[in-house]
Structure 1
């Protein structure tokens, strides 16, 4: 009888925790919606003009403003002669989305082989009609649910990547989804790669397409240019294959750091190992700074991230909160030599859950450009101090503790 009573108590306590967690999430979401209705839309933020750096036989252009990168992506699509590989997590049905869709359809009409992938979850709210494409565009809508989900969590990941490759020579990758919002109101980072290094993105697309295509979709040739230039490498997370190299390059680069680790993230929820490496780097005198949004577009993720702030601040890591707009970049620059730009956030979903791709770039000139971007972003941030954090109200501490178990889901 006592054992049965203890079991009832445990079950009751667990049920209360679930109810409290659900109520907290609902309250945060409703409160955030009311706040967004009251606050004015973002009016602008500091950016840099697109900047080019040559690395071997390839050229990298770095973008910090949506309209700039969208214009060059569309120019590449309009100039395509043979093949377009286009992949995105979100493709909105608004004016920007319509412009991209029309450009891709026009390319297919003039004889270019056009392959398009978008994620059905990311584009869930997009009108159904917009998701219909002419037959001469090879379309893959990465489905919300497939029979593979029954095989376990490794098959639950979303296609979170943003890739464009044109004629095997010009590639784009970074944090920008496609839509009006991202053109002018979000601060993100993208790069264009021209030359042999574009294959790093091309190969990623080809492997994903061939692995997920149906019988009625054409197989893409895998007999494409390959190289071994270690200065620009594409690392893709593929949960169905248990491959998570983006997490590995972060851990290795932070572990090697001697001078500086500067990270910009839209969603920053580091796992135990990444958190430990950041603290160890700071302990040995490395300048560790992280830029993240004061408020992101996912209020629950913001609150789950806060659970680690105390330990980071006490360890000397500087947290800089981006003001007045959503910073969505997924970048880092270390020791003025190592840099990464891509689609992966430092959170569980990106590091071990979703399909992602990041470029790893070993070049002093490109790293210097990434440092300039970081320094410009700092001018639009406020620093969160340990003293301020310790003064947060008691109820905020309670929310952090209630939501902390959600970290493995975000």
Structure 2
């Protein structure tokens, strides 16, 4: 009887939650656009960009951010120099040390009269929603939550009742300042993305860019900002009482001052990129660059309706490879369809394919590894090279690497050593069909060579090469130690057990 009553209560709760929030409820909100902001000729970033792009035609200036500290330095420097507008779009925005410091820079920019628009996916905002609501009380700061939860204290219960909507997320990541500088790539906002966390560190990759691709990124931001899925935070979260903005600003000021005096900020001050920024000597790579992205309406579309999503655009682009494809994806769940396409590319066009992903020990999501591990033998039998990042505490994380305190997080595809995609998209069903994604495609042998420099040595040091033994079983080869492993290296029994158990569940399309 008690079980029946409990089930009835759960059913009633789900019914109520579903009825109230199965669809986005459009709200009255002001539309705003990047082109509405007049950037004065005296603006520092405009002057820098105009001078640097002079004579470059339609090419954009690009600088790869492969290490966490320089990725954070670039963002802080852009925000500190802002005079008119700052637009941020992220899947995760943690209010840990780096998140608070970046927020402090945003507050100071807003105090200078800069318009700040902060667009965040709502999946992980729960612990910080009151702080975000307080931030939005500043007259020059707007915060919108994308595809929000309406029942703020019962998110997971709401998700059970509205799974078709709330399971689909905005995974895009970009920062645009004064419509002249942008950063696009794989990093969210949080300590682990910027080498500020002693417990975990993500090896990731972004592009710092100036030139025409910045305008494309701004248009993409406007499309999402003005979409019905983007809801002002103040309509979802009650404004804190007792002068919330002043209280939050004083608290952020105090914590920012503590960071300025800490070891991490000392490292930032001595970062090479910071010195190059100050001296206006960023070593730009000039090349044709285009922004590829999903339309926000993807969150309401079935697979059959997604005729021109980012994944299909990249698939067409990838099939242009004639010699080599390097595929770097931390979450690699190719599905049988994807495996067949890769094998076809390998066998019919004789393209050398190299795949780098996380090992079971280095991944931060075991479920994703469970969806990948069953495809390894097919890929290897077809002659595709497969590498898995080592869990090595002495390994400095970067684009190619991870460690026991780090995990590969870069999403990068390189074709024929001249074309590159850098962005937010993983090679998995979730990125293809469920989430929205974005990234920049660059045609540049110089940038490709920069990213591939010392690839062989880096792979030997940072990753195991997965091979097929004579008996058809998988083995992992450590080139540094000249040693073969018969089981998933550095992964304990229970981690292997969980991965194997999850691989038997019908969850691939959610990975």
TM-score category of the 2 structures, normalised to the smaller one: 0.7 to 0.9
Tell me which residue corresponds to 2:18: none
Tell me which residue corresponds to 2:500: 399
Q: Please list, as runs of the form range in 1=range in 2, the aligned pairs for 1:73-222 lying within 5 A after superposition.
A: 73-126=75-128, 128-129=130-131, 132-135=134-137, 136=139, 137-145=141-149, 153=164, 156-184=167-195, 185-211=201-227, 212-214=229-231
Q: Please list, as runs of the form range in 1=range in 2, the aligned pairs for 1:361-376 lying within 5 A after superposition.
A: 361-372=442-453, 374-375=455-456
Q: How many residues were matched structurally?
A: 348
1:359 equivalent to 2:460? Answer: no
Once the two structures are superposed, residues 267-310 of structure 1 have per-residue CA deviations (whole angstroms, 9 ceiling, x without a partner) of: 00113433222111221421111111113110111111112112
Q: 1:133 to 1:216 in 2, by over 3 A?
A: closer
More deviation, 266-275/237-246: 237-246
With normalisation by structure 1, the TM-score equals: 0.76
Q: 1:142 to 1:373 in 2, by over 3 A?
A: farther
Q: 1:265 to 1:169 in 2, by over 3 A?
A: same
CA distance in 1 between partners of 2:187 and 2:135 (Å): 22
Within the candidate set 453, 464, 474, 1:389 is matched to 474
Q: Please list, as runs of the form range in 1=range in 2, the aligned pairs for 1:35-46 lying within 5 A after superposition.
A: none
CA distance in 2 between partners of 1:180 and 1:215 (Å): 26
Tell me which residue corresponds to 1:408: 509
CA distance in 1 between partners of 2:175 and 2:126 (Å): 21
Q: 1:241 to 1:366 in 2, by over 3 A?
A: farther
Q: 1:105 to 1:386 in 2, by over 3 A?
A: same
Once the two structures are superposed, residues 323-365 of structure 1 have per-residue CA deviations (whole angstroms, 9 ceiling, x without a partner) of: 2230100101011122100001111111111121011122222
Tell me which residue corresponds to 1:27: none
Tell me which residue corresponds to 2:72: 70
More deviation, 245-254/260-269: 245-254
Within the candidate set 422, 428, 432, 1:341 is matched to 422
Tell me, yes or no, if the aligned pair for 1:265 and 1:330 is still in contact at 8 Å: yes
Q: Please list, as runs of the form range in 1=range in 2, the aligned pairs for 1:253-268 lying within 5 A after superposition.
A: 253-268=317-332
Please report how far the alpha carbon of residue 175 of structure 1 lies from its aligned counterpart in structure 2 after TM superposition: 0.8
CA distance in 2 between partners of 1:268 and 1:255 (Å): 18
Please report how far the alpha carbon of residue 155 of structure 1 lies from its aligned counterpart in structure 2 after TM superposition: 6.8
| Counterpart secondary structure, 1:132 | helix
Please report how far the alpha carbon of residue 377 of structure 1 lies from its aligned counterpart in structure 2 after TM superposition: 4.3
Q: 1:384 to 1:307 in 2, by over 3 A?
A: same
Gaps of 5+ in 1: 1-51, 218-228
CA RMSD of aligned residues (A): 3.2
1:282 equivalent to 2:346? Answer: yes
Tell me, yes or no, if the aligned pair for 1:340 and 1:359 is still in contact at 8 Å: yes
Q: 1:134 to 1:125 in 2, by over 3 A?
A: closer
Tell me, yes or no, if the aligned pair for 1:232 and 1:361 is still in contact at 8 Å: yes
Tell me, yes or no, if the aligned pair for 1:235 and 1:358 is still in contact at 8 Å: yes
1:247 equivalent to 2:311? Answer: yes
Once the two structures are superposed, residues 157-193 of structure 1 have per-residue CA deviations (whole angstroms, 9 ceiling, x without a partner) of: 2111111001111111111111111111210000011
Q: 1:133 to 1:398 in 2, by over 3 A?
A: closer
Once the two structures are superposed, residues 93-138 of structure 1 have per-residue CA deviations (whole angstroms, 9 ceiling, x without a partner) of: 1110001111111111111110001222134444743663142210
Once the two structures are superposed, residues 2-33 of structure 1 have per-residue CA deviations (whole angstroms, 9 ceiling, x without a partner) of: xxxxxxxxxxxxxxxxxxxxxxxxxxxxxxxx
CA distance in 2 between partners of 1:192 and 1:330 (Å): 15
| Counterpart secondary structure, 2:220 | helix
With normalisation by structure 2, the TM-score equals: 0.62
Q: 1:57 to 1:277 in 2, by over 3 A?
A: same
Tell me, yes or no, if the aligned pair for 1:63 and 1:191 is still in contact at 8 Å: yes
Within the candidate set 226, 231, 251, 2:288 is matched to 231
Please report how far the alpha carbon of residue 215 of structure 1 lies from its aligned counterpart in structure 2 after TM superposition: 8.0
Tell me which residue corresponds to 1:293: 358
